Amino acid sequence: MSGSTRLENANPLIFERSLERVVTAEEEDESLADPIDDREIFDLIRSINDPEHPLSLEELNVVEQVRVRVNDPESAVSVEFTPTIPHCSMATLIGLSIKVKLLRSLPHRFKIDVHITPGTHASEEAVNKQLADKERVAAALENSQLLEVVNQCLSSRTA
Amino acid sequence: MATDGAVPLPGLVEEFVAGQQDGGAAAAAAGVKAGNFTILQLVEALGPTLTSSQSQTRARGIQLLSHVLSECSGRLSEKEVEVLVAFYENRLKDDYVVTPHVLHGIKALTKSPAWPPGLAISVLKSLFQDVHVQSLMLLERSCIYTILINLMELKEEELKGLGADFVFGFVQAMDGERDPRNLLLAFQIARNILHRGYELGSFTEELFEVTSCYFPIDFSPPPNDPHGITQQELILALRAVLTGTVCFAEFLLPLVIEKLDSDIQSAKLDSLQTLAACASMYGYRELKEFLPGLWSSLRREVFQTASEKVESAGLSSLRAITSCLSRSILSSDGDDALRVFLDLIIQDCRHHLCEPDLKLVWPSAKLLQAAASASYRASHIIAGAVIPQLMEQYNNQTQCAQRRTLLDVLQGFVQPAQDGVPAVAEESVLCGFREPLCEVVFSALSETNAGLQVTASRILSSLGQQPGLLSTSHVELAVDHLRRLILEEEDTQVCPAVLECSGSLAPLYPDVFASAMIPQLKAEIFSEPMLRDNGQEAVHTSSQHVVRQRCMTALAAVSCHPTLVQQTAPVLLQVLSSSHTDVSFSIGSGLFSTDDIIAACRSLQQIAEQVQYAEETGCFFHDVIIPHLLGLTVQAGLQCDNQDSIPPQSPLTEEAILLAIVPVLSTACAHLQSELAALTASRVVSLFLDGDTVFLPGNNLPLQPQLFQKASSSCSGSQLVCLLMACVCSMPKSVEIPQVDRLLSELEELSCTSTHPFSFTLAAKCFAGLINKRSAGQALDLVLERTIKRITSELDCMSSSLRTQALTLLLWVAKALLIRYHPLATTLTDKIFSLLMDPELAPLAADGFSLLMSDSVDVLNRACHADFRIMYRQRFFTENSAKLVEGFNSAEKEMKSGYLKALSHIVNNLPRQVQLTELPALLPLLLEALSCPDQAVQLSTLSCLHPVLLDPPASPALAPQLDGLIFRLLGLTTSPAMKVRIATLRCLHALARFPDHMILPFRARVLRALATPLDDHKRLVRREAVAARGEWFLLGSPGR
């Protein structure tokens, strides 16, 4: 109704947040090892803020647990994300935020693959290529303006 | 001229005026106060100065006079005031250099109570005429406002006689004021004008303009503000003016609507709050014209806002407007204002409730609920329009999530609001819908979706709270549903919701619960285990135990009515007694597991807590429950004593179960009326001392059992001392314990000689509990002297096998004395300090400090009516921290860890403020404790560092030690203990909030070190590592 801010998708559908992971007895037992599983990776990325809404990626259904796959023994993670609309110009930025979050939060041994859910974005291939290119990701993070936006997405909600 | 004073008056004047010495003023004032000379003499002495042709000299003269007046205004006579005021009024026409001092003089004079009539008006006229306020300096403007305020206090009637001229003069005076201090004064004057009924005349709009131009207030105080004026203060002062009169309505409402469009959050908030404030005093006439505009602004704010504050302010404005309209009187010809306005709201909101995606359903519902909560009539109109529609929607929807949302919305409408409560003759708004509503609720309760069940049970309890809504058949049906859910539902959200609902309905409909809930739960609890197919062996599936325990919790939840308690508590007692008798007669496990029995005890305890103030149930506890419980446990204890080696043992001798029975007894005893308490105390004491079992039910007790016997067996009557403790240590202090000295010596004997840890610890606790409540005097001193002697000799004898017992008793007695500030406490705690050097007992003594400093659950706490000073921890710390530090420094290397442990226990239990102030002194020692290999010490140190690190003011105190702290923390991230790693990572996370300049140098090192715990084998550790590392990454980079 007030047209002062122009959002690409001004009124997105909001999805329910999943509950906090319940701590199990095995997790409290010192002697057992807990492998890194899908839910753990999902927990890392679900609270990332959307660049244009005061909502998390989970609430916008950009990331879902079923689209996260991890193989702990082989040190591989694959995350698919779904932009809210097919022409979303934020897709690269969202992908970059997910990638950076995983780079900061996972052990070095992991190979991290972040890409768009097939068939959900107009320039899917181009974005995937950018996200897969190590040098381009590194260069993007040298850009202080870009880094600022990424950090804002990653900073905790209360801040 | 009188020259009695030390300095002659002309000299003073000369010194002040010509010599420019400010000290003369104070001396002159002191002279007048002391009566050395009069004001008249002063004026005479000032004569030449005041008539000087030099304006500077005149100014100086008036300054002296004004100063003296400001000190002595109270002692002026009416005649003096009249002359002086006339003089000052005349001086207002003088040079601009003189004016400031004149104003100060008038201000001083307005403080004098002796004002002759008529003066005020002439002063004000001259002020408004001769002074241009806004060209004066800050202080002089403030003078003018103070003069006005003083005169308004002093001469209200006269000022009102000035008519609208006064308002006009004030408006001109404050027009353009910029200083917040003066604004506060000006707003005060304006508020007085409005509240005290000064005539506004044709200047209403002018007064509004001159104040409303500051709305909404945007003010941020300068750093290190010495005046302490906050934006909130200004906002409230201005709001009081703007909402001070209905005459402003036609100007204020358009202004509010305009400011609501603002993009600034605080402006919106202020506008909404102002609107709510003025709506509560306006009537329909004032609001009429602006209602559509106000509604559309409010709707926009609630629909679109991202801020909860704005939303709730908007809702309360809407509520205020609606309640204003509800108050307005219906005119016979015109429309019903409230109905017209509500129709507008309903029309705008209703369709959002039916849209399939339910996007705006919450804001619409909140708006409707806010309006409905304003008055009974409003809630009637809105409920009539909305509730049928919601129910229809609910019945048509098929998706669970959406049905849940609709049900949640419905719950908001069903909840009884304070003002929506019907008057005596009116029936509840919901009466018309009770059939369909109950249908919806019951159908939702039978769904399988947890969310629906939870919300439905909440609606059910709100319906139950409103008298006359549920018919008997509804209640019966509801109880059936609740019972079914208690028996069948395992969901972690549904169970508590169902129990809460049962608990809120039970006191309202006790008969239904007594007939349709309790017997069935009882049957379920005592149901025999299902037989296997071969019919041979009974099996207890774990789910059966879960159901049984849930039934017992439910019994406790519904026991909020005396008649219900008398039905439920015996069921739980029966669980205990049958678990006891079962074993006595048949070999093999009984019907109830240990967990079942503990659950029964918990439920009994909960009942004891719930009914604490009902006299009837107090008697019931005294007559039935306490004797039964005691009887059962004593019987069990003695039986197994008699047939020592023959299994089976009654489960009521297990320590875990005894420890569960203790809180039941102590809660029950703590809430007994004093006569019953005294009776119980004497019965229990004679049971333990003399074996008097008359009051216990059950007929197979041996005569005169010796309950204090020192059997070495682990299953012995001596264990039962916990029952003694539960009863006698929780009595109110006014209850006299009979034969207390004999009791104390028996307890001392038991605690010093028993070899059974449970028995001697409990005996020590019981001893301490009694000592704590014993009134000071010779008797107490004698007991203490004897006990201390015994403890000391036991501890000093290094070969004794009973040193642990002596230490335990020492710790508990020390605690009992420490918390009541008894002078002997220091002797005992010093003894404990010295034991930190003891090769054998040092670890126990160090852990003992945690016992001293923390609250114990079953004795020596407030619930047990102990003599308890809240500040004892701080006091202990201040008295003893030096000893600890000294002891640590002088101790040998291998003994140091005991001191560190003791220190971390003490610091851990201190209140946060004390921790913060003591931190700098203790930090080196705490860092030392981090390097101590004992994991318990590390953990306890980390847990006391963490809250300190979270508190921003701690950072300066930590600065010099930061290097060492981070170094040690990073080392601990690879500790073998998971809890230490987690606590360490939390501390590192907290450190990331420190000021950048302090921690930036460590960023690279911390990030590198935190990469290791990211690959920790425990998930909980990884979670903390991710949080901490993420925060350190953000440090010093843009967009934090």
Coil, helix or strand at residue B901: helix
Residues from chain B that touch A13, judged by Cβ atoms under 8 A, are 357, 359
* CA atoms of B506 and B747, how far apart (whole Å): 44
Residues from chain A that touch B1037, judged by Cβ atoms under 8 A, are 147-148, 151
In this complex, do A30 and B978 lie within 8 Å of one another by their Cβ atoms?
Answer: yes
* CA atoms of A120 and B922, how far apart (whole Å): 59
Residues from chain A that touch B300, judged by Cβ atoms under 8 A, are 1-2
Residues from chain B that touch A106, judged by Cβ atoms under 8 A, are 1014
* CA atoms of B729 and B723, how far apart (whole Å): 10
Task: State the Cα angle at B235 between B234 and B236, rounded to 5°.
Answer: 90
Closest CA to B886 of B834, B929, B935: B834
CA dist list (Å): B459 to A11, B175, B434, B447, B452: 31, 57, 12, 15, 10
Please compute the mean of the pLDDT values over residues B425-436 and round it to a whole number.
Answer: 74
CA distance A60 to chain B (A): 14
Closest CA to B670 of B765, B734, B602: B734
For residues B556 and B609, the answer to whether their CB atoms sit within 8 Å is no
Query: What percent of chain B has a predicted confidence (pLDDT) above 90?
Result: 17
pLDDT band of B644, cuts 50, 70, 90: very low
HEC sequence for B590-643: CCCCHHHHHHHHHHHHHHHHHCCCCHHHHHHHHHHHHHHHHHHHHHHHHHHHHC
Q: Which helix (H) or strand (E) holds A77?
A: strand A76-81
Is-cis flag, bond preceding B222, omega within 30? Answer: no
* CA atoms of B27 and B23, how far apart (whole Å): 6
Task: Give B1008 or B1039, the one with higher predicted confidence.
Answer: B1008
* CA atoms of B412 and B215, how far apart (whole Å): 35
pLDDT digits (tens, 9 = 90+) for A107-130: 999 999 999 999 888 889 999 999
CA distance B280 to chain A (A): 29
pLDDT digits (tens, 9 = 90+) for B63-97: 888 888 888 877 788 888 888 888 888 888 888 88
Identity of the residue in B1026, B1029, B1039 whose CB atom sits nearest the CB atom of A149: B1039
Q: Which residue of A has its CA nearest to B1028?
A: A105
pLDDT digits (tens, 9 = 90+) for B484-540: 998 888 888 888 899 999 998 988 888 899 998 899 889 888 887 654 444 444 445
For residues B107 and B140, the answer to whether their CB atoms sit within 8 Å is no
Percent helix, strand and coil across chain B, each to the nearest 5: 70, 0, 30
| pLDDT beyond 90 at A29 | no
CA dist list (Å): B844 to A101, B836, B838, B928: 47, 9, 10, 21
Coil, helix or strand at residue A94: helix
CA distance A31 to chain B (A): 9
Residues from chain B that touch A152, judged by Cβ atoms under 8 A, are 1039
pLDDT of residue B1005: 93
For residue B46, give both structure tokens. Answer: 């000032």
Coil, helix or strand at residue B1038: coil
pLDDT of residue B649: 67
pLDDT of residue B332: 63
pLDDT of residue B954: 65
DSSP E strand boundaries for B762-915: none
In this complex, do A1 and B1020 lie within 8 Å of one another by their Cβ atoms?
Answer: no
Q: Which helix (H) or strand (E) holds B147?
A: helix B138-154
In this complex, do B1029 and A105 lie within 8 Å of one another by their Cβ atoms?
Answer: yes
Whether A134 has its CB under 8 Å from any CB of chain B: the answer is: no
In this complex, do B1039 and A155 lie within 8 Å of one another by their Cβ atoms?
Answer: yes
pLDDT digits (tens, 9 = 90+) for B755-781: 888 888 999 999 999 999 888 888 899
Sheet with A68-71, side-by-side order of all strands = A68-71, A76-81, A111-116
pLDDT of residue B133: 84
Whether A144 has its CB under 8 Å from any CB of chain B: the answer is: yes
Coil, helix or strand at residue B531: strand
Q: Which residues, listed in sequence order, are joined to residue A115 by a DSSP beta bridge?
A: A80
CA distance A134 to chain B (A): 19
pLDDT digits (tens, 9 = 90+) for A54-68: 788 988 889 999 999
CA distance A76 to chain B (A): 14
- Domains in chain A (CATH in brackets) are 34-154 (3.30.300.130)
* CA atoms of B853 and B1015, how far apart (whole Å): 38
Q: Which residues, listed in sequence order, are joined to residue A76 by a DSSP beta bridge?
A: A71, A111
Single-letter code of the amino acid located at B72:
C
In this complex, do A150 and B1039 lie within 8 Å of one another by their Cβ atoms?
Answer: yes
* CA atoms of B847 and B108, how far apart (whole Å): 68
Q: Which residues contact B175 (CB under 8 A, 6 or more apart)?
A: B134, B210
Query: What percent of chain B has a predicted confidence (pLDDT) above 70?
Result: 91
Q: Which residue of B has its CA nearest to A145?
A: B1038
In this complex, do A13 and B357 lie within 8 Å of one another by their Cβ atoms?
Answer: yes
pLDDT band of B969, cuts 50, 70, 90: very high
pLDDT band of B427, cuts 50, 70, 90: low
* CA atoms of B105 and A87, how far apart (whole Å): 76
* CA atoms of B933 and B164, how far apart (whole Å): 83
Identity of the residue in B357, B1015, B1040 whose CB atom sits nearest the CB atom of A151: B1040
Q: Which residue of A has its CA nearest to B1024?
A: A105
In this complex, do A105 and B1030 lie within 8 Å of one another by their Cβ atoms?
Answer: yes
Residues from chain A that touch B306, judged by Cβ atoms under 8 A, are 54
| pLDDT beyond 70 at B229 | yes
- A contact test, residue of B360, B1019, B1023 with most A CBs within 10 A: B1019
Residues from chain B that touch A104, judged by Cβ atoms under 8 A, are 1026, 1029-1030, 1033
Q: Which residue of A has its CA nearest to B261?
A: A2
Query: What percent of chain A has a predicted confidence (pLDDT) above 90?
Result: 42
Q: Find tokens 């005076």 and name the residue.
A: B173
Whether A33 has its CB under 8 Å from any CB of chain B: the answer is: yes
In this complex, do A104 and B978 lie within 8 Å of one another by their Cβ atoms?
Answer: no
* CA atoms of B248 and B238, how far apart (whole Å): 13
Q: pTM of the full predicted structure?
A: 0.72
pLDDT band of B710, cuts 50, 70, 90: very low
Q: Which residues contact A24 (CB under 8 A, 6 or more apart)?
A: none
Taking the mean position of all CA atoms in its chain, how far away is CA B358? 36
Q: Which one of A97-106, B328-337, B923-932 scores highest in mean pLDDT? A: A97-106
* CA atoms of B459 and A14, how far apart (whole Å): 26
* CA atoms of B60 and B19, how far apart (whole Å): 11
* CA atoms of B10 and B12, how far apart (whole Å): 5
pLDDT of residue B274: 92
Q: Which one of B193-202, B397-406, B438-447, B1021-1030 scores highest in mean pLDDT? A: B1021-1030
In this complex, do B1011 and A108 lie within 8 Å of one another by their Cβ atoms?
Answer: yes
Interface of B with A (CB under 8 A): 263, 300, 304, 306, 357, 359, 401, 977-978, 1011, 1014-1015, 1017-1020, 1022-1023, 1026, 1029-1031, 1033-1034, 1037-1040
Least confident interval from B215-224, B402-411, B576-585, B850-859? B576-585
pLDDT of residue B539: 47
CA distance A69 to chain B (A): 17
* CA atoms of B1032 and B1004, how far apart (whole Å): 9
- B contact test, residue of A30, A39, A70, A157 with most B CBs within 10 A: A30
Q: Find tokens 């003369």 and name the residue.
A: B24
CA dist list (Å): B895 to B113, B210, B834: 76, 76, 12
Mean pLDDT of chain B: 84
CA distance B348 to chain A (A): 15
pLDDT band of B1040, cuts 50, 70, 90: low
* CA atoms of B691 and B670, how far apart (whole Å): 24
Strand A111-116 to A68-71 pairing: unpaired
Residues from chain A that touch B401, judged by Cβ atoms under 8 A, are 16
Q: Which one of B138-152, B212-226, B585-599, B894-908 scores highest in mean pLDDT? A: B138-152
Whether A30 has its CB under 8 Å from any CB of chain B: the answer is: yes
pLDDT of residue A54: 77
| pLDDT beyond 60 at B1 | no
pLDDT band of A159, cuts 50, 70, 90: very low
Q: Which residues, listed in sequence order, are joined to residue A113 by a DSSP beta bridge?
A: A78
* CA atoms of B323 and B376, how far apart (whole Å): 9
Identity of the residue in A2, A54, A147 whose CB atom sits nearest the CB atom of B1039: A147
In this complex, do A54 and B306 lie within 8 Å of one another by their Cβ atoms?
Answer: yes
pLDDT band of B787, cuts 50, 70, 90: very high
Helix B361-372, helix B400-414: angle, nearest 10? 10
HSE-up of residue B587 (Cα within 13 Å, Cβ side): 2
* CA atoms of B953 and B805, how far apart (whole Å): 44
Whether A119 has its CB under 8 Å from any CB of chain B: the answer is: no
Establish, for the pair of chains A and B, how many residue pairs have beta carbons separated by less than 8 Å: 69
Is-cis flag, bond preceding B663, omega within 30? Answer: no
Complete DSSP assignment for B78-113: HHHHHHHHHHHHHHTTS-TTTHHHHHHHHHHHHT-S
Residues from chain B that touch A149, judged by Cβ atoms under 8 A, are 1039
Sign of CA dihedral B235, B236, B241, B246: positive
pLDDT digits (tens, 9 = 90+) for B48-67: 888 888 888 888 888 888 88
- B contact test, residue of A46, A153, A154 with most B CBs within 10 A: A154
Q: Which residue of B has its CA nearest to A51?
A: B1039
ipTM above 0.90, yes or no: yes
Taking the mean position of all CA atoms in its chain, how far away is CA A78? 11
pLDDT digits (tens, 9 = 90+) for B99-158: 888 899 889 888 888 788 888 888 888 888 888 888 888 888 999 999 889 888 888 888
Q: Which residue of B has its CA nearest to A104?
A: B1030
